[in-house]
């Protein structure tokens, strides 16, 4: 394609570049810039729309801008203008994050997208990925209670610290195996323990081997067969935001081996056919933040709708998991108790998921919490869980474990997701087997996220504590 070489200065396009006025240049960018500088592969060309880039674990945010070739075009990241000397922040979770940069025709009454450039940023995980030797006995045991760059409790030490008794990793695991199983009466405090070549060098740690160590006890791992026995004949309900949905998806995968749906429902969803219909699961999204506060449905409405949708199983023993990132408050417990009191069911087990990390990055259209607000959340979380226990609820404290590893979030604008649902790739041989079949096999999905797995197992333990005991 030949581009017109007649250029002129356009005030709306800024003084830093000259832009083409020929229509052939309309759908194209002249350049894409990042801050910090990130090498794109392949090198930028106006005619190439797909790029990949790799960033380090510590890079959780990138600033993007694009330079339009045509004066009557705009460049946008989502709904945010990034031409005209404007830059947009783009959040980078672990793994792949795809930014869609649109070239938009602004001459029409309604702007139309002319072209889309895609950059997939791959953010590396923390520390060492491979090379861990289980038989090697000289890994240091390092603990982490909070990250020094996001302090939530001034009373706690920050950063990696050598374990108090300076034991080696193999000895730590042996001692840990002798601890009693955690119960509802145990303290909710804990810390991450991770094997490292040196606690002075965070990049030498094997975070895939890290464990969450509760004070004075250990969280067990319930075998799948025992989990199925525990949940058999029960109604298991979740109410909360996407972080609570991540726990539900993890448990569904544990029971079923994989997920048959990769839904990100923001309403009510019932899963009646798990384990041959032995267990029914239900989820209600709350709060529905996209509604104005005056018309936003309350918790009582969400709970009643979920109970009505699962009323066919109301004679069963029931489990309810309530929680989310930052919205949970004490008055929600009163609403919960009043609603459950009206529901005639033999027995309720209520589990409260604590608050979590998130909303710590400056993004367009996303509220960012200040350092003081993060510390206030810690105190709020402690008070919430203490109240929940007094009311007889089980609790799972997710605040410290996510805040201390706040950089380990997975893709998402809130930086609050520690899980991700991805499609399972069908093996090539299986694709050949089913190529001529009239009914194609259902797509399968799986859930990823080490931190989500840890606190999801804690929820499993609270669900099944009495059964397993």
3-class SS of residue 116: strand
Cis before 179 (ω within 30): no
- Least confident interval from 174-188, 231-245, 325-339: 174-188
- What band does 16 get if pLDDT is binned at 50, 70 and 90? very low
User: Residue 65: its pLDDT value, please?
Assistant: 94
pLDDT at 15: 43
Measured from the Cβ of residue 371, the count of other Cβ atoms closer than 10 Å reads: 11
Percent helix / strand / coil, the chain, rounded to 5: 25, 30, 45
- HSE-CB at 211 with a 13 A cutoff on CA atoms is 15
Question: What separation in angstroms does the CA of 355 have from each of 189, 298, 325, 358, 400?
Answer: 14, 19, 5, 9, 9
Peptide bond preceding 208: is omega within 30 degrees of 0, i.e. cis?
no
Tell me which H or E stretch contains 228: helix 224-231
**Phi, psi for 111 (deg, rounded to 5):** -60, 140
Distance separating alpha carbons of residues 90 and 36, to the nearest angstrom: 12
Domain range summary for the chain, segments of one domain joined by +: 7-123, 140-214, 224-468
Of 273-282, 324-333, 454-463, the range with the lowest mean pLDDT is 273-282
Higher-confidence position of 72 and 161: 161
Q: What are the DSSP calls for 248-313, one per residue?
A: HHHHHHHHHSSBS-----SSEEEEEEETTTTEEEEEEE---TTS-TTT---HHHHHHHHHHHTGGG
Higher-confidence position of 335 and 184:
335
Average pLDDT of 413-422? Answer: 94
pLDDT in the model for residue 344: 57
**Do the beta carbons of residue 115 and residue 102 sit within 8 Å?**
yes
The pLDDT value recorded for residue 2 is 30
| pLDDT per residue as tens digits for the range 275-290 | 677 899 999 999 988 8
402 contact partners, CB below 8 Å, separation of at least 6: 356, 357, 358, 418, 451
Least confident window among 178-182, 247-251, 416-420, 437-441: 437-441
List, in sequence order, every residue forming a beta bridge with 143; answer none if it has no partner: 161, 193
Number of neighbours of residue 73 by Cβ within 10 angstroms:
26
- Please classify residue 96 by burial: count the beta carbons closer than 10 Å to its beta carbon, then call 0-12 exposed, 13-18 middle and 19+ buried: middle
Please state, in angstroms and rounded to a whole number, the distance separating the CA atoms of residues 458 and 447: 17
pLDDT tens-digit map of 118-133:
999 999 999 988 888 8
Helix (H) or strand (E) holding 118: strand 112-123
Residue 116's alpha-carbon distances to 50, 87, 317, 337, 411, in angstroms, are 9, 17, 51, 50, 20
Section 416-422 average pLDDT:
94
Task: Supply the pLDDT for residue 259.
Answer: 81
CA-CA distance, 146 to 80, in Å (whole number)? Answer: 34
Mean pLDDT of the chain: 87
Half-sphere exposure of 450 (CA within 13 A, CB side): 17
pLDDT (0 to 100) of residue 191? 95
Give 422's pLDDT tier (boundaries 50, 70, 90): confident
**Poorest-pLDDT segment among 121-125, 236-240, 267-271, 384-388:** 267-271
Percent of the chain with pLDDT over 70: 88
Q: Using alpha carbons only, how large is the chain's radius of gyration in Å? A: 25
Looking at residues 27-54, what average pLDDT do you find?
96
End-to-end CA, the chain: 73
**pLDDT for 404:** 97
User: Which residues contact residue 114 at a Cβ distance below 8 angstroms, ignoring those fewer than 6 apart?
Assistant: 26, 27, 73, 103, 104, 105
- Tell me the range of 116-125, 183-192, 290-299, 340-349 where mean pLDDT is highest: 116-125
**455: pLDDT strictly greater than 60:** yes
Quote the CA–CA distance of 50 and 100 in Å, as a whole number.
10
H or E segment and range at residue 431:
helix 428-433
Q: For residue 466, name the pLDDT band (cuts at 50, 70, 90).
A: low
Q: What integer pLDDT is reported at residue 195 of this predicted model? A: 95
As a whole number, mean pLDDT of residues 333-342 equals 90
- Quick one: pLDDT at residue 180? 92
pLDDT(457) > 70? yes
Report the C-alpha gap between 252 and 447 in whole angstroms.
Answer: 10
Helix (H) or strand (E) holding 142: strand 140-144
pLDDT of residue 343: 67
- Indicate whether 8 pLDDT > 50: no
CATH assignment, 224-468: 3.40.50
Residues 6 or more apart in contact with residue 175 via CB below 8 angstroms: 167
Q: Is it the case that residue 117 has pLDDT exceeding 90? A: yes
Q: Given this structure, which CATH class describes domain 7-123?
A: mainly beta
What is the structure's pLDDT at 468? 43
What is the structure's pLDDT at 437?
A: 57
């Amino acid at each position: 394609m030949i581009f017109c070489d007649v250029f002129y200065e356009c005030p709306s396009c800024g003084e830093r570049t000259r832009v083409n006025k020929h229509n052939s240049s309309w759908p194209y960018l002249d350049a894409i810039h990042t801050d910090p500088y990130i090498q794109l592969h392949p090198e930028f060309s106006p005619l190439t729309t797909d790029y990949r880039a790799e960033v380090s674990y510590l890079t959780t945010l990138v600033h993007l801008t694009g330079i339009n070739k045509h004066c009557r075009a705009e460049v946008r990241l989502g709904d945010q203008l990034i031409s005209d000397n404007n830059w947009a922040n783009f959040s980078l979770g672990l793994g792949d994050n795809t930014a869609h940069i649109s070239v938009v025709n602004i001459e029409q009454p309604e702007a139309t997208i002319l072209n889309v450039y895609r950059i997939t940023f791959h953010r590396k995980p923390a520390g060492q990925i491979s090379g861990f030797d289980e038989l090697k006995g000289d890994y240091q045991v390092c603990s982490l209670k909070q990250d020094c760059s996001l302090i939530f409790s001034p009373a706690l030490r920050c950063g990696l610290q050598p374990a108090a008794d300076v034991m080696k990793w193999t000895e730590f695991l042996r001692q840990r195996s002798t601890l009693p199983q955690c119960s509802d009466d145990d303290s909710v405090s804990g810390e991450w323990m991770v094997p490292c070549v040196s606690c002075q060098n965070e990049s030498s740690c094997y975070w895939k081997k890290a464990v969450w160590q509760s004070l004075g006890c250990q969280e067990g791992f319930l075998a799948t067969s025992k989990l199925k026995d525990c949940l058999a004949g029960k109604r298991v309900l979740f109410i909360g935001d996407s972080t609570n949905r991540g726990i539900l998806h993890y448990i569904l995968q544990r029971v079923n081996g994989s997920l048959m749906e990769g839904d990100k429902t923001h309403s009510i969803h019932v899963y009646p056919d798990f384990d041959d219909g032995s267990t029914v699961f239900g989820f209600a999204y709350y709060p529905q933040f996209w509604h104005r506060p005056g018309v936003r449905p309350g918790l009582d409405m969400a709970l009643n709708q979920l109970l009505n949708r699962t009323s066919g199983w109301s004679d069963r023993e029931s489990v309810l998991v309530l929680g989310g990132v930052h919205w949970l408050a004490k008055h929600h417990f009163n609403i919960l108790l009043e609603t459950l009191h009206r529901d005639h069911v033999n027995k309720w087990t209520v589990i409260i998921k604590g608050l979590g990390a998130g909303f710590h990055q400056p993004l367009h259209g996303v509220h960012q919490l200040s350092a003081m607000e993060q510390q206030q959340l810690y105190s709020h979380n402690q008070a919430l869980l203490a109240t929940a226990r007094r009311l007889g609820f089980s609790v799972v404290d997710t605040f410290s474990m996510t805040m201390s590893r706040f950089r380990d979030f997975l893709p998402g604008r809130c930086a609050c997701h520690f899980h991700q649902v991805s499609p399972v790739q069908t093996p090539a041989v299986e694709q050949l087997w089913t190529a001529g079949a009239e009914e194609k096999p259902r797509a399968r999905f799986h859930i990823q996220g080490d931190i989500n797995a840890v606190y999801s197992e804690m929820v499993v333990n609270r669900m099944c504590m009495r059964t397993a005991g």
